[in-house]
Amino acid sequence: MNEVIKTILNHRSLRHFEDKPLTDEQIKTIVTSAQAAATSSFIQAYSIIGVKDKEKKKKLAEIAGNQEYVEKNGHFFVFCADLYRHTIIGEKEQKDVTPSIESTEKFMVALIDASLAAQNAAIAAESLGLGICYIGGIRNNLEEVKKLLKTPERVIPLFGLAVGVPTKLTDKKPRLPYEHVYHEDEYQQNSEVYLSQLQKYDELISSYYEERTNGKRKDRWTDQIATMLDRKSRMYMKEFVQKNKLNLK
């Protein structure tokens, strides 16, 4: 197995880091790796904001529901969907780009671009021996995040990426069965097959938790996910995105 695949397969989210800032060189390697990702029609519809300011990191940690590792890490990146520069380009080139920029399609393009770039960044960091944890918790209050990071209209902060030298390793979390995720030629939706695969996976996840918590926790994956989905969260998002003049048509 080559080193790239080994790095990818060795992924786990890490949440304890040394108090050791990333070097400028490490930051540059991670960001240029992010930028090397493929991008829809070459649009490059994302931005990355590195947060070094201690007060800002503290505030972001609070917004994210007091997640300590948002504050205590080697570097904190915020990945944003970004169609601001494209608005400026439209003005510069005197073209009516607004209807396109405000479409759901272009919003999706920006989300996809930002996510592909982020995953490149994550793998680059992991390949340098660093640990990473994505932080969707910043979406608890994007108005505050926006003010803190001074993002203009048509820029939506999506998630953070905490990176640092790990002090505590965690175990890898088993994923869904291969055949449950990978379909050939057509989507397999035989519900009996579906449910039996999920049952096997539930057993696997349940024993994963049981082993790691000395029997204190043994939740099934389907229960975990249904419980999570049973609660509405961040329902302000559509309004927030539209207020920022994206996803309007």
Interface residues with ligand FMN (CB under 6 A) are 11-13, 15, 64, 67, 133-137, 159, 173
Looking at the Cβ atoms of 99 and 136, the one nearer to ligand FMN is: 136
Minimum distance between the CB of residue 221 and ligand FMN, rounded to whole angstroms?
A: 11
**Closer residue to ligand FMN (CB): 12 or 180:** 12
Nearest distance from C-beta of residue 174 to ligand FMN, angstroms: 9
Shorter beta-carbon distance to ligand FMN: residue 64 or 109: 64
Structure tokens at 171: 């175990």
- CB 62: neighbour CB atoms within 10 A? 16
Geometric angle at alpha carbon 135, from 214 and 248, rounded to 5°: 135
Question: What 3-state DSSP class applies to 125?
Answer: helix
CA distances from 15 to 46, 131, 152, 159, 219 (A): 25, 8, 30, 15, 21
Q: Which is nearer to ligand FMN, 46 or 102 (CB)?
A: 46
Query: Which two structure tokens, joined as six digits, stand for 124?
Result: 């680059």
Residue of 52, 59, 68, 58 lying closest to 15 (CA atoms): 68
Q: Which is nearer to ligand FMN, 4 or 193 (CB)?
A: 4
**Location of structure tokens 């640990």:** 131
Provide the minimum distance between the beta carbon of 13 and ligand FMN in the complex, in angstroms, as a whole number.
Answer: 4
| Least Å from the CB of residue 133 to ligand FMN | 5
Radius of gyration of the chain (CA): 20
- Quote the least distance from Cβ 31 to ligand FMN, whole Å: 18
Q: Which residue has the CB atom at the shortest distance from ligand FMN? A: 136
